[in-house]
Structure 1
Amino acid sequence: MSRAELRLANGFTFADLQKPESLARLDADFLKRLATRDAPAHEKLLVQRTGKAFTPLEASELLLACGPVLEDFIAELFGVQKEVQTTQAATVAHDPVFAFKKLFVQRRARRRLLKKEELESFTELDAWLGGELKQQAQEGSDRELAVARYGERLLKDEKAGAEAIEKLTRWCIRALSTAEGKAAVHGWVSFKLPEGTDHHNLVPIVALPGDSLGRIEGLADARRLRDGFKLTDRRYGAREVQSEIHYCIYCHDHDGDFCSKGFPEKKGEPDKGLKINPLGVTLTGCPLDEKISEMHSLKKSGYTIAALAMITVDNPMCAATGHRICNDCMKGCIYQKQEPVNIPQTETRILTDVLALPWGVEIYDLLIRWNPLRARQWLPKPYNGLKALVLGMGPAGFTLSHHLLMEGFAVVGVEGLKIEPLPADIVAQPVRDYGTLEEALDARVMAGFGGVAEYGITNRWDKNFLKLVYLSLARREHFQVFGGVRFGGTLTVEDAWHLGFQHIAICIGAGLPQALPVPKSLAPGMRQANDFLMALQLSGAARSTGLANLQVRLPAVVIGGGLTGVDTATEVQAYYIVQVEKTLARYRALAEQLGEAKVRAGLDEASLRILDEFLEHGRTVLAERARAARADEAPDFTKLIRQWGGVTIAYRKGMNDSPAYIRNHEEITKAFEEGIFYAEGLEPKEVLTDRDGQAEALRCRRARRGEDGKWTDSGEEVVVPARAILVATGARPNIAYEFEHKGHFEKTKGQYQTNRDVAGRLEPVATLGHCKQDFGPFTSYGVKGHRISFLGDTHPVFHGSVVKAVASAQKTYPKIVAVFGERADARGDAAEYQRFRIGIQDSLAARVERVERLAPGVVELTVRAPQAARKFRAGQFFRVQTFETRAPVVNGTRLMTEPLALYGSRVDADKGLVSAIVLENGASSRLVATLQPGDPIAFMGPTGVRAFAAEKSGETYLFVGGVLGAAQIRSVGAALRAGGNKVLYAAAFDSAAQVFHQDELEAAADAIVWITREGEPLAPRRAQDRSVTADIIDAIAQYATGKLGEPTIRLEDVTRLWISGSSCLVRRLRDARGKELAPYLVKQPTTTASISTPMQCMLKGVCSQCLQWQIDPHTGQRTKAVFSCSWQDQPLDIVDLDNLDERLSQNKVQEHLTNLWLDHLFETGQVSRV
């Protein structure tokens, strides 16, 4: 990081910029400057701050008058006057180009395109123009600007230059109308003329030649080569952005800035509502009411800092909006019949131009917190003693956190996902150069901060911008943030009040993606799109340095027409190349060290076929890289992907009917640029599998569009080849809390009922159509006068986009503040806040207490996590991850775990300690042994469901489990016994040496049958216990028949059977109930199995990796898919065990190689382990 000293003007220091009282002094200095420069503007600004309403035009004129003064003031404050002047000059230096476009290309040349004229060839005219430029010393690297300046010079004396003006006009005509001319001016903004808008043909497409499926694709000449996960869109250059700004007609001066305010059905008659475009989209304009026209006006004149200040009046979190994020403003643009102004590009460019200045990061951060152009929140208020808990650190959550901090609240932001800490030096010290913060997107720390903006948005958007938001909040004195905190697990509503919060805001987004209800759904190769994207973007799977396992094959089909489906399609394609390259590289290294036979040992024939497929494709990728290097060009992986079957989006209707097309068609265009296929009118009917049970194809019903425009079943079926099937069929507001803790929030139509606060009374509000209408920000919860708000994707009005989530915070915070009345303006106690802060830090932060090896392959991890310990109930589990920023790198590989699901095995709530048993059967689980006491750790939970059975009495349990069963029974067994139940424990271990915590296991059961697979039996220490070396089923039978001694608890008395272990163990016990053990289990005990499905987020319905099919126990037919992380102990008879095995085999090849690779790293890297 840069260590340059920030020397601010007028005696200010960097620390002063973080203090409300110092910012008030800065504000006073600005007001003095404004009074000197523009006394009327100064007077009006003070009036604005009293709350007096101005007309829109008056407000715009005031802000435009203040903007340049503010720019000069900030430039002087940071000592960057020269750099700002340079930026101003560079901005207006493009003006001749736009004058040339207007006066020559549009007014003169375009009007003559349809005339039949005998003109010279472009070659002849271009030679003439080259001579003119050379003669006037205008020829240079920027020919467009040179031509523009030449034209500008000619127009100064039109009479004298008439002949040259005519010839230059003819050159423009030829440049517009001939192939040679178009090629010569390719990329020139002066020749980019707006195209007409045909809402039903916004994406250029062609039919895929000779395709039996009738798929479509993008235009071949628009193809863009992609390699990996770097930023895929570098955005417009400076001139392109200025061109858009000059294209704008600055409608604010007549209250016609519909891009901001919304496009009215009839101007001046708001009661008639907003216009709806031909696609059925209500033209709301910017959900934030951002002052776009005013922003453009300032930037056009070169005032970049002032333009950013104009943006941050309404959108201080603009780093999280803009290009490739939102386009509501474009849809509302005054240009409805031709291309709109690309406002997101201009907004993002204004931000990056400021960031490019010395101390640009600090200028932006200052404008977030102090902006004298705002009519509200121009300064942060001092701490008022109120504390808000913001659940979710996505766009809604982090924006609300900012606004409440500005209002004087203390804010604790929590997130269910892991959140990496920022480097301490950038939080405590100013950042001179933004470049020192930037990371290549394919190597950046996946910080977790930003929610869906982090894991749900692809590298089309520069996620370095998230760091700016994170940094701004992290510097606030009254802000704390914690990852690994689950609403409903770690914290409940009642916990929040108990901890001292006065408000709760639910910003936890959408969830509950549904499994596709077709035969063989979730076969190996099939997964949810959310699962894929989260694994790709949070686990490090896309990097050559990662240990994460994410296995996909080609061809791939993405089911669904939304933006998530489009993103998934592009990322599957990019990831496949990374995957096969990494597989080949590690295979070669391991084969050289161990020999190929050992590397391949342990894989079944099906897995070997997949491995060889990856290796073959990996070699082809390397060959393409070599070819491209020889040709000095970028490799063409699209060609290879297509040879291997390609990636197809399959949608049940037409592309033009899809949510992605309607909301943001540009993303489909961009996906086509990467070579994606699109299949219209396909409704999935069945997943077809190969001889190994792997997904092979998707059988679909074919729909066709009728003359009435409706899609109906044609009666045809088609088979789409698909080795990977990713389901992106939508999500719903996340209301999981109410399912888990019933009675808190009223629901309606699958979402929380919206309410407004009217004089201290909650009043239901009907959910209206769009974000510019009145809405209810509160849930129905009103116990003891408390209010709980909900925002973003959780709210029915603001769901569906990042910018709406940001807007939900902007529009909700005043309503939250109003609830508190005078309390919001009180002065808080600093000492009281420090006590609160320390208490929250102690409760929610997790650290490793100790790591102990209990037996070969078995480690116990003890974590200090007081709040998690207090909330734990027997049977629940935790999600455990290490931090990337603390993970060592060994031989180019970062030793970071994937999420691990670990049962809470022993909990000491008084000391805040949770112990979990780790069975070392994969790379991530083996990395736990590398942790050291004191290490911070991401420890989310408790999650899952508590053992409800422990709340019943009078039952006799047979609990059967291996090592994981031992981990579970330590807590569950004690709870069962305390509840008045008897527990017989069949404890299965590999050998007596593997047995651990024998005292505690004995305390958890009335009697134990110690079963070892090999070696001498364990010597029992209690009279009621038995031991044997045998197969587990045989051992239980021996116990039942008295061969091990008189049974202490007879199997004939067992009323409940609980199985905790591998799917193999579960299957064996299921079968044995009706066979070998049937004579003894005479009461046909109710059977529960702890289902160890793959898991990732463990937040109960977000990523959906844990989806598990259930069946009708009588027919064997599937009934529904459930989220196993919210129901991990399931009735055995309704579990589809075949599907469980299939789910567990999803990443088999990757897991095998990763395990061997970790062996290699441990051997060569001298990694310390317990």
Structure 2
Amino acid sequence: MNSSSSEKIADISFDTLNTVLGLKKFDQKFLSVLADQDSSLHRNLLSYRQQKTNFTAIELSEFLLALAPHIEAFIALNFDIENETKASCKRITNEKAIHVFKKQFIQRRSRRYRGEMDIPYTELDLWLSQQINDIEDRELAVSQYAVSLLEDTEKFAEDIKRLTQWIIHIRKNNAAANISENWISFKLPALIDYAQLVPLEDISNDPVGRRQAKPETYVRRDGFCLTDHRMNLRQTMGEVNYCIYCHDHDGDFCSRGFPENKKDPGSGFRVNPLGETLTGCPLGQKISESHLLKRDGHDIAALAMVARDNPMLPATGHRICNDCMKACIYQKQDPVNIPEVETGILTDVLKLTWGVEIYLLLIRWNPLRQEQYLPEYNNNRRVLVVGLGPAGFTMTHHLSMAGCNVTSVDGLKLEPLDEHLLTSPIRHYSSIVESLDDRILSGFGGVAEYGITVRWDKNFLKLIYISLARRENVGLSGGVRFGGTLTIDDAWYEGFDHISIANGAGLPKVIPMINSLARGMRQANDFLMALQLTGAAKFDSLANLQVRLPAVVIGGGLTAIDTATELQSYYIRQVEKTLIRYTVLEEKMGREKIFAGLDEENQGILETFLEHGNAVATERKRAADCNEEPNFLPLLRQWGGVTLTYRRGLNESPAYLRNHDEIVKALQEGIFYAEGVEPVEAMLDEYGHVAGLRCRVKQQRDGLWLASEEQILPARAIMVAAGASPNTVYENEYTGSFKMDGNHFMPHICHPSGVQPVAVADNCKADEFGPFTSYSYQDKRISFIGDTHPVFHGSVVKAIASSLRTYPEIIKLLDQQPEDPYRKKMDNFTSEFQKRLSATVDRIDTTHPAVVEMWVRAPMAAKNFQPGQFFRLQTFEKFSRVVAGTRLQIPLQTVSGAGVDGDCVRLLLLRFGANARIAEQLKPGDPLVLMGPTGSPAKLGHQRTVMVIAGAWGAAVMIDLGRALRAAGNRVLFFASFRCQDDIYFKDELEQCADQIVWASTTDSLIECRRPQDSSVQQANIIELIKDYKNGNLTAGNEENLIKLSDVDEIMIMGSTGLLKAMQRSLKDDLKPLFKDGVHATGTVGSPMQCMMKGVCGQCLQWQIDPATGKRTRAVFSCANQDQPLSWIDLDNLGARQAQNRLSEYMTGLWVNHVIEQLPPKKK
């Protein structure tokens, strides 16, 4: 961060708030003011910081509550917002009348009233209107009037009676639904029925027994704007006043957890009727205290109280976590909606002038903390944090606060922030808020970015991103794969002292059902990531994500819930975007030409999309004419809708147990729910596409779910959300790095003599939880946090808590390590290392008709690249031009490495599809994302004879691989199949990659043969070509064959699925006699890929088969191992996977051609 800005906030310079020295001076100023105002509190604060005061829990609360208003006053004074804070306080205190009215009249007097109801409601309502003045805010006016009556209950007895009757008419006789439904004062807690937390109604005559929400609760959703705008101030204050502030008697179980025995803190936590352990807030947040401050109108003080234990509070709260609610003292009736209050506390401060800067200040300077109340000076310690999800960004915060130089990396693309956000103060939060429907998809936040939907405001992530990006001792880098771009050994070599692994969950589970992973079937993670990271849902995006209706989502967790709602909304966006682009293309090209490029199946799909797109347009027009929001639900239902299925009962599902409110909200969007449904088979149509889900429908008897009959659910899309495991991919790649305990790293604690394994703790508040892995090399250790850790997996707030609890252990460990006497203190260490992790275009050659050659300067990627590996190439959304309403961005592209030169990686992009056209527009210096290397390096062997069969795609790999094979002492025979001479690229290099080449053209013209040992033929059938080679029937060639097929030890096939199929079949049959027994054949599996991080999204999942029986054995992540034994590959499945987005890709290609034609010629 360049912190040279001279811009000021009132009398505070920007540097003051963003440097350690500036914050320490700011703190000294506060202490001085506090000493003048309250010398006793000042002494207590100093003693508290020096840990000389042994407060009881109640005394600590009292101390914090006394101190917090002083912090607020000091900030308001220094930010020159005293008038704003006073006005905000007045707004809150004005609301108190509503809560007095609710408590005294609605909850007490109306319930106790036993008199006659002798006055009609209309007469009472008219009378009441005459008593009040404010008709704009009638609830407040009525409340203030009611409170005034309490000043003399005898004098106003008749008026109190009238008002009480008016209330009873509304509550019991439903006399005024607008009041009973909308006034906070009439919102009363309901009793909890744990077995019926989600109201549902049956769908009559449904063969699967699907259920739905009551139609009157349906909401209209349009697109991907924020769907939940949270409570307003009055609603929030209703929850604040419902709280009974249990901290004053050690009863704040929302924070500390609900004890099994209140008199015995060591008795453990209570378990609720759903079997959930009531641990309370994993962070131990001072909830009750913050509510009390909020009640009294202290917005900033309340925020300081929350940020004391939860500096990452933008990433928690409403629609994220509810551990606190579950442990609320109210166990038999609705709990206090603590997450709403927490988020309301944050947003109310953000609405203030300089609200963003106040939040950013309070997470770095917070006198309420006993530790980390200020950041430390640089301690010259270096820590690598792997992952920038909730656990990773929280660990980055705490370690940087402790003075460490922190480099935090993530495999996702990380869009850079606008420079002014890093170098100038932000006056108004509204200036940085983006609509979720068209915001830049930053990539920051990991699962919080791609896994959580627009039910939650992702603008909050930007606050945390800005905070970390401004710090001089923090470096944030995206597109970095741990185990590829950067290894453990690399980290130690580069000078890091510790690694903290926070790379979340991975390895989504595949359901063992017939035709699993058929075309139209996806992993839920794959869908959500494509939707929310590549930007498929945005009108200006070129990302491809093709889905059809009806759809079925399999799973009972929150991922399944999110997938169902987003799939429904995305379908509307997809057909709308298809129609818009088609209309332009039809005018330009004509219908016949567009449809001519499609087979019969995709012509039918396009017709359906256009028909549905027109229906959407019609509904939009109707809604606009009626001045109302469009209602797409009838259309979605007409087209089959989205059904969520779970193998057991709804109230046994993980989503119900953890956060039933999300199910309620999803069903209000019109989702169907089917309980007791076990998938058996994905039914396919004549084209091999999913057409239905055959399932076993079970009935519950005596608490057991027993199979009764089979039914078929119509389904053109099936999404699987069957759970995931901790991401331990590094151990799979570098076996022996870590000891495992089942599917996760074995937890360890650290001693001066080494690490010691411990059992997995019962819950996230256990004293000993084992923050370290087994890794131990000299004085180096590796910790693991978040979803990777078995104690903290499964929720955002637990991930954050894992970092809060682990960072002190890391600091303790670092303090024990001797300082390296040869290490220079580099204040710019993180920024310098970031450059080594980054990628920029070094040079680009677009002159070849077949490929775009690009050299990318990416030092760490180049260092670790091995022949046969590949990369995920992306361009930044932020820097991409928008032409004709289209962002010319490469959403993602799998591209093979074609060699390295120093710090540069060579890439060859074939000229087909949209991405190569966009790549042509790049120029030297342009930043890129080059995630990798990934995939498995080729097994080179030694002194073998290797036969390579490749076409235009495989030749890019061969340029580097062939050289490596020959350098290892192997002989290489290369069958190179191209359409014609013009399609061959870098022929000189290809000749150097093989001892002998057989050039095969698939058209009439022969490819020039320049070496005596090479041959050239016209042959489109590779099997016949190999036979001709064996029999000496080649029609060209200047010398006899040098390499005999009988000498071949290894066959590598890098080509189309059709080529792989032909070779797989023929090597068992007519080609088998041509080779020696036991010749090993591998095929490069060109699965569709997205994350390419070896088991996160699951798009690359590919079935393997038993060569003897042809039956499926297991599904593998082909981005982890792209070169597989040819006989193991289920090539029918591969072909189906490759065709998932066929129509979308075709239409995108046409659209990109149209858009690029509108660009001015590229300057040479």
- TM bracket (short chain): over 0.9
- 2:631 maps to what in 1? 636
Determine helix, strand or coil for the equivalent of 1:779.
Answer: strand
The 3-state SS of whatever aligns with 1:904 is strand
1:163 aligns with 2:158: yes
Equivalent position to 2:183, from 188, 193, 197: 188
* Displacement after TM superposition at 1:348 (Å): 0.4
Moved more, 172-181 or 312-321: 172-181
Q: Report what 2:347 is aligned to.
A: 352
- State the partner residue of 1:120: 119
Superposed CA offset, 1:533-591 (max 9, x none): 00000111111111111011111110000000000000000000000101111111110
1:268 aligned to 2:277?
no
SS in 1 for 2:915: helix
Give the conservation status (yes or no) of the 8 Å contact 1:1054–1:1083. no
User: Match for residue 808 of structure 1?
Assistant: 802
Matched with 1:907 is 900
Q: Is the 8 A contact 1:385 1:829 kept in 2?
A: no
Q: Residue 920 of structure 2 corresponds to which residue in structure 1? A: 929
Please state whether the residue corresponding to 2:1102 is helix, strand or coil. strand
Q: Give the direction of change, closer, same or farther, for the CA distance of 1:882–1:893 in structure 2 (3 Å limit).
A: same
Q: How does 1:754-769 map onto structure 2 within 5 Å? A: 754-769=747-762
Alignment of 1:420-439 (within 5 A): 420-439=415-434
CA–CA separation in structure 1 for the residues paired with 2:1148 and 2:1119: 25
SS in 2 for 1:915: strand
User: 1:1056 pairs with 1036, 1050, 1056, which one?
Assistant: 1050
Query: Residue 490 of structure 1 aligns with which residue?
Result: 485
Corresponding position: 1:779 with 2:773: yes
Contact 1:988–1:1032, Cα closer than 8 Å, also in 2: no
Q: 1:84 Cα deviation (Å)?
A: 1.0
Equivalent residues of 2:174, 2:180 under 8 A apart: no
Paired residue for 2:1031, among 1041, 1046, 1050?
1041
CA offsets, 1:921-972, max 9 Å, x none? Answer: 2112332111111100000101000112x0x223211101011211111121
Deviation at 1:125, TM superposition (A): 1.5
Question: AA paired with 1:919?
Answer: L
User: 1:829 deviation in Å?
Assistant: 11
Amino acid at match of 1:917: L
Q: In the alignment, what sits opposite 1:972?
A: 961
Q: TM-score, normalised by structure 2?
A: 0.97
> How much does 1:186 deviate?
2.3
Find 1:1018's aligned residue among 986, 992, 1007. 1007
- Is the CA contact 2:117–2:165 (under 8 Å) kept in the aligned structure 1? no
TM-superposed deviation, 1:1015: 5.0
Aligned position for 2:28: 28
User: Is 1:1105 aligned with 2:1104?
Assistant: no
Asked if 1:698 corresponds to 2:693, the answer is: yes
- In structure 2, the partner of 1:518 is 513
> Counterparts of 2:34 and 2:699 in 1: how far apart (Å)?
65
What amino acid sits opposite 1:13 in the alignment? S
Shift of 1:210: 2.8
Q: For residues 325 and 835 of structure 2, what CA distance do their matches in structure 1 show?
A: 47
Distance 1:1083 1:99 in 2: 89
Partner secondary structure for residue 194 of structure 2: coil
Q: CA deviation at 1:267?
A: 1.4
Q: Distance in 1 between matches of 2:556 and 2:794?
A: 14
1:665 counterpart = 2:660: yes
Question: Are the equivalent residues in 2 in contact too, given 1:385–1:827 (CA < 8 A)?
Answer: no
| Distance verdict in 2 for CA 1:181–1:1167, change over 3 Å | farther
- Corresponding residue number in structure 1 for 2:985: 996
Partner residue in 1 for 2:110:
109
The corresponding residue for 1:12 is 12
Task: Establish whether residue 78 from structure 1 lines up as the match of residue 79 from structure 2.
Answer: yes
TM-fit CA distance, 1:759: 3.3
Amino acid at match of 1:711: W
SS in 2 for 1:279: coil
Q: Which residue of 2 aligns with 1:42?
A: 42
Q: Does 1:848 align with 2:837?
A: no
Q: Partner residue of 1:920?
A: 911
Identity percentage over the alignment?
51
Residue identity matched to 1:1019 = E
The correspondence of residues 386-785 of structure 1 with structure 2, limited to 5 A, is 386-707=381-702, 709-714=703-708, 716-774=709-767, 775-785=769-779
- Does the 8 A contact of 1:383 with 1:827 survive in 2? no
Matched, 1:1031 2:1057: no
Structure 1 position 1037, deviation (Å): 3.3
1:117: Cα distance to partner?
Answer: 3.9
Q: Distance in 1 between matches of 2:1111 and 2:44?
A: 73
Amino acid at match of 1:926: R
Q: Is the 8 A contact 1:384 1:823 kept in 2?
A: no
Q: Residues 1058 and 1088 of structure 1 are in contact (CA less than 8 Å); yes or no, is this contact kept in structure 2?
A: yes
Q: How does 1:56-67 map to 2 (within 5 A)?
A: 56-67=57-68
1:758 Cα deviation after fit: 2.6
Tell me how far apart the structure 2 counterparts of residues 172 and 841 of structure 1 sit (CA, whole Å): 65
Q: Distance in 2 between matches of 1:233 and 1:140?
A: 28
Task: Give the 3 Å change call, closer, same or farther, for CA 522–979 of structure 1 in structure 2.
Answer: same
TM-score for both structures, normalised by structure 1: 0.97
Q: CA RMSD in A?
A: 1.8
Question: Cα offset for 1:1028?
Answer: 2.0
SS of corresponding position for 2:499: strand
Distance 1:946 1:686, change over 3 A: same
Alpha carbons of structure 1 residues 63 and 835: separation in structure 2 relative to 1, 3 Å: closer
Which whole-Å CA distance do the structure 1 matches of 2:650 and 2:936 have between them?
Answer: 41
Partner of 1:411: helix, strand, or coil? strand
Q: Is the 8 A contact 1:316 1:368 kept in 2?
A: yes
Kindly tell me: are residues 693 and 174 of structure 1, through their superposed partners in 2, closer, same or farther at Cα, counting changes over 3 Å? same
Corresponding position: 1:378 with 2:373: yes
Matched to 2:493, the amino acid is: H
Shift of 1:1004: 1.1
The CA deviation string for residues 350-405 of structure 1, in whole angstroms up to 9 with x for no partner, is: 10111111111100000011001101000000000100000000000000000001
Rounded Cα–Cα distance in structure 2 between residues aligned with 1:823 and 1:292: 37
Kindly indicate whether the alpha-carbon contact (under 8 Å) linking 1:130 and 1:139 is maintained by their aligned counterparts in 2: no
- Please point out which of 1146, 1153, 1163 is paired with 2:1157: 1163
How far did 1:192 drift?
A: 0.3
- Matching residue's letter, 1:672: L
Deviation at 1:221, TM superposition (A): 1.7
Whole-Å separation in 2 of the counterparts to 1:988 and 1:143 = 80
Partner of 2:128: 129
CA distance in 2, matches of 1:641, 1:532: 19
Q: CA offset at residue 692 of structure 1?
A: 1.5
Query: Could you give the per-residue CA deviations for residues 4-44 of structure 1, whole angstroms, max 9, x where no partner exists?
Result: 995446x5311121111221111111112222222222111
Q: Distance in 2 between matches of 1:162 and 1:200?
A: 44
1:140 corresponds, among 135, 138, 146, to 135
**Which residue identity does 2:1014 align to in structure 1?**
D
My pick for the range that moved more, 461-470 or 1051-1060, is 1051-1060
Question: Cα distance, 1:1019 vs. partner?
Answer: 2.5
1:985–1:1008 Cα contact (<8 Å) kept: yes
Indicate how the Cα distance of structure 1 residues 120 and 787 shifts in structure 2: closer, same or farther if over 3 A, else same.
same
In the alignment, which residue of structure 2 is the partner of 1:308?
Answer: 303
2: distance between equivalents of 1:153 and 1:80? 33
CA shift in 2, pair 1:847/1:218, >3 Å = same
- Once the two structures are TM-superposed, the CA of residue 838 in structure 1 deviates from its matched residue by 5.0
Aligned match of 2:934: 943
Q: 1:954 aligns with which of 925, 928, 943?
A: 943
SS state of the match for residue 927, structure 2?
coil
Q: Which residue of 2 aligns with 1:328?
A: 323
Contact 2:180 2:187 in 1 (8 A): no
1:508–1:794 Cα contact (<8 Å) kept? yes
Residue identity in the other structure for 2:92: T
Aligned: 1:789 with 2:780: no
Q: Distance in 2 between matches of 1:907 and 1:404?
A: 35
